[in-house]
């Protein structure tokens, strides 16, 4: 007999990860539904948000802002030019894994590609992103940071452990599923960085396709859909689906909103580490942000 929907290894792992995420939202419910061993596995799987690669496109711009869509007026090229694309309001909550309390005073940076698959301030980029060789030197669009517990961001007031940004839906480039990079770090009084944690935000393939085929300038690119899905992305693992793929509210015409929760060991953002640009002196960045 042939099963209509065979259970693959990836599906099995994804189901376990989803169960772990669900335990955070409703632990009493799950404790009654799952066998003790399964419930304990769900608890363990949901403790920490996985750390994912920084990628080759990190630039320490030190731009403290909530709306990251435009180049700043001080950008060396194209000052004030705003990136076109479907609006995305992104809220990020950072919590300590040991007690689930909000972590305040941490700088949360985000950076990602524009609708054409290009990052700002790069001399060369991954094949498939944009045109003209992808030289965006001197620009600083779609980069910025906010401080948890201090910056209101796109909300009316600041909240413990929270930051928020107004940006656009990222575009695709070859070799990667659509994503947003996130760094959590602490800044000294003099502006020096103390850091140790990076991860990435993903969206469902269905939501990505809604944007890529339903709005300009995404729908003018060929192929319209990203050839690299969440399923075959080289960075996102099936065990990360429940923690790193976010659900969204809204529509293509008016824009979307999403909330991403980061649960980490507070030591991750107090450990000293170098934030030098990883591609410095190493030639063009490696493929796909891996």
Distance CA 9, CA 58 (A): 33
pLDDT tier, 194 (very low <50, low <70, confident <90, very high otherwise): low
Is the pLDDT reported for residue 232 higher than 50?
Answer: yes
Distance CA 197, CA 264 (A): 9
Q: Which tokens belong to 214?
A: 């339903």
Q: Indicate the pairing of strand 87-96 with strand 255-264.
A: parallel
pLDDT-wise least confident of 99-108, 127-136, 221-230, 256-265: 127-136
Is the pLDDT reported for residue 34 higher than 70?
Answer: no
Is the pLDDT reported for residue 10 higher than 70?
Answer: no
Tell me the pLDDT tens digit for each residue of 42-82.
433 345 899 999 999 999 999 999 999 999 999 999 999 99
The fraction of the chain above a pLDDT of 90, given in percent, is 61
What's the whole-number average pLDDT of the chain? 79
Helices then strands, counting H and E runs in the chain, come out as 5, 9
Report the predicted TM-score, pTM, of the whole model to 2 decimal places. Answer: 0.78
Is the pLDDT reported for residue 222 higher than 70?
Answer: yes
Per DSSP, 64 falls in state B
SS (H, E, C) the chain: CCCCCCCCHHHHHHHHHHHHHHHHHCHHHHHHHCCHHHHHHHHHHCCCCCCCCCCCCCCCCCCECCECCECCCCCCCCCCCECCCCEEEEEEEEEECCCCCECCCCEEEEECCCCCCCCCCCCCCCCCCCCHHHCCCCCCCCEEEEECCCCCCCCCCCCCCEEEEEEECCCCECCECCEEEEEEEEECCCCCEEEEEEEEEEECHHHHHHHHHHCCCHHHCCCCCCCCCCCCCCCCCHHHHHHHEECEEEECCCEEEEEEEEEECHHHHCCCCCCCCCCCCCCCCCHHHC
pLDDT tier, 133 (very low <50, low <70, confident <90, very high otherwise): low
Residue 111: per-residue pLDDT? 98
Distance CA 145, CA 108 (A): 5
pLDDT tier, 196 (very low <50, low <70, confident <90, very high otherwise): low
Give, rounded to a whole angstrom, the gap between the first and last alpha carbons of the chain. Answer: 41
- Domains observed in the chain: 7-46 (no CATH), 49-280 (2.60.130.10)
């Amino acid at each position: 007999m042939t099963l209509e929907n065979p259970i693959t290894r990836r599906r099995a792992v994804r189901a376990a990860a989803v169960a772990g995420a669900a335990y955070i939202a409703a632990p009493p419910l799950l404790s009654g539904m799952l066998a003790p061993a399964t419930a304990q596995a769900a608890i363990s799987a949901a403790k920490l948000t996985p750390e994912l690669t920084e990628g080759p496109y990190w630039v320490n711009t030190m731009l403290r802002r909530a709306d990251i869509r435009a180049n700043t007026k001080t950008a060396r090229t194209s000052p004030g030019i705003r990136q076109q694309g479907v609006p995305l309001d992104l809220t990020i909550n950072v919590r300590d894994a040991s007690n689930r309390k909000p972590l305040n005073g941490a700088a949360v940076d985000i950076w990602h590609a524009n609708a054409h698959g290009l990052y700002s301030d790069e001399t060369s980029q991954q094949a498939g992103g944009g045109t003209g060789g992808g030289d965006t030197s001197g620009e600083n669009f779609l980069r910025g940071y906010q401080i948890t517990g201090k910056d209101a961001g796109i909300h009316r007031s600041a909240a413990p452990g929270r930051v928020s940004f107004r940006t656009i839906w990222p575009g695709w480039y070859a070799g990667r599923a659509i994503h947003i990079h996130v760094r959590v770090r602490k800044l000294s009084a003099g502006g020096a960085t103390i850091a140790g944690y990076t991860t990435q935000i993903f969206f469902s393939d269905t939501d990505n396709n809604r944007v890529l085929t339903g709005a300009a300038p995404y729908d003018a690119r060929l192929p319209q859909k990203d050839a690299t899905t969440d399923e075959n992305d080289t960075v996102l693992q099936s065990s990360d689906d429940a923690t790193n793929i976010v659900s969204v509210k809204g529509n293509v015409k008016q824009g979307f909103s999403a909330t991403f929760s980061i649960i980490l060991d507070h030591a991750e953002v107090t450990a000293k580490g170098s934030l030098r640009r990883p591609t410095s002196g190493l030639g063009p960045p490696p493929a796909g942000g891996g």
